[in-house]
Amino acid sequence: MSKKEVLLTYEGLKKLEKELEYLKGEKRKEIAERIKQALAFGDISENSEYDEAKNEQAQNEIRIVQLENMLKNARIIDEDEVDTKVVNLGTKVKVVELDSEEEFVFQIVGSTEADPTQSRISNESPVGKALLGHKVGDTVDVEVPGGKIRYKIVDINK
């Protein structure tokens, strides 16, 4: 497994820990029960319920290992130390798209926590990368698959 540092907010850390606890506890028990029930059907050579349960068990164990590695290599972004003079990991940045004059608020997070539907964008994404290090009043050009977007930074906070 890779030793890549995983950047997380405190909220992201808690979410991963909760998922790991669920997978190691409740999920393992559910899968074990499904395997037990499938075995009760008899011959496992043609038992699709057994095969499905074993595959799910393997996927669960893979995810557990992934989560454990992420948590082992985690670096927590301390919100108290986040500098809001410039766009940084952990900051929320309000921007105006200059062409449409539409406003957006993005929270810059590590790739593990990125969720564009929640306006949580990765520091490694084109928009996140372009905004990093800029301050209020700066205009930033972002190369995206659909062309170029120009944002003006309106506000930066935690």
Confidence band (pLDDT; 50, 70, 90) for 1? very low
pLDDT per residue as tens digits for the range 103-155 = 999 999 998 899 999 999 999 999 999 999 999 999 999 988 888 999 999 99
Q: Tokens 């506000």 identify what position?
A: 155
pLDDT of residue 120: 93
Residues 6+ apart with CB under 8 A from 81: none
Tens digit of pLDDT for each residue in 20-51?
Answer: 999 999 999 999 999 998 888 777 777 788 88
Domains and CATH numbers, the chain: 6-76 (1.10.287.180), 80-157 (3.10.50.30)
Residue with tokens 């490694």: 124
How far is Cα 158 from Cα 146, in angstroms, rounded to an integer? 30
User: What is the pairing mode between strands 92-97 and 147-157?
Assistant: antiparallel
**pLDDT tens figures, 55-71:** 999 999 999 999 999 99
Confidence bin at 7 (pLDDT 50/70/90): confident
Contact 114, 134 (CB under 8 A): no
The per-residue pLDDT for 130 is 95
Question: Tokens for 85?
Answer: 């003079």
pLDDT of 79 higher than 60: yes
Distance CA 131, CA 52 (A): 45
- The predicted pLDDT at position 42 comes to 75
CA 132 to chain centre: 18
Beta strand 6-8 with 74-76 is: parallel
